[in-house]
């Protein structure tokens, strides 16, 4: 009877050791799985953040280029390169700002920021077009007035919205 009891205690201890080791291995496997899953989520988040940051910075650069090209058009209306530079910068800006607007989940202020950028982006090209209309009509003073009164303040609004995102 003593032998049966000893075997029974030994079997119980062996069973407890096996269960403890099994639970330990399961805990380690679960932790590793969670770490890998968390790592992928973090990498995806960082990739999104970096892509939007690059797009916002690129939009800012293209906005600066548009302003410079518009001023070059005012300085030398007969220079076709100024118009080409403006159109290229405008196309680049429009392309990248659409990606920025589609990334509300990453922007500081979320959809409110997207709405603000959309509003400014809707108003700004009309001011630029009016500057170009005045230049093409030979009315450089009128073009300067529109530039100073409407186009530049609208650019400053856009620049402010973009800079807020860059600083974020």
User: How would residue 76 be classed by pLDDT, with cut points 50, 70 and 90?
Assistant: very high
Residue 94 has pLDDT above 80, yes or no: yes
User: How would residue 1 be classed by pLDDT, with cut points 50, 70 and 90?
Assistant: very low
Per-residue model confidence as pLDDT tens digits over 16-63: 889 999 999 999 988 888 888 877 777 777 778 888 889 999 999 999
Mean pLDDT of 102-126: 91
- Using alpha carbons only, how large is the chain's radius of gyration in Å? 31
The pTM score is 0.71
Q: Answer for the pair 56, 83: CB distance below 8 angstroms, yes or no.
A: no
């Amino acid at each position: 009877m003593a032998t049966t009891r000893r075997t029974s205690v030994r079997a119980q201890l062996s069973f407890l050791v096996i269960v403890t080791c099994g639970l330990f291995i399961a805990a380690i496997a679960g932790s590793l799985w969670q770490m890998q899953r968390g790592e992928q989520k973090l990498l995806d988040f960082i990739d999104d953040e970096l892509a939007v940051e690059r797009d916002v910075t690129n939009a800012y650069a293209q906005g600066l280029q548009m302003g410079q090209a518009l001023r070059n058009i005012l300085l030398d209306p007969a220079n076709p390169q100024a118009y080409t530079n403006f159109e290229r910068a405008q196309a680049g800006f429009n392309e990248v700002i659409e990606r920025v607007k589609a990334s509300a989940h990453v922007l500081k202020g979320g959809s409110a920021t997207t709405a603000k950028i959309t509003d400014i982006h809707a108003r700004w090209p009309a001011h630029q077009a009016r500057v170009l209309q005045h230049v093409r009509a030979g009315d450089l003073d009128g073009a300067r007035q529109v530039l100073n009164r409407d186009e530049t303040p609208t650019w400053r609004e856009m620049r402010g919205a973009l800079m807020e995102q860059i600083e974020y």
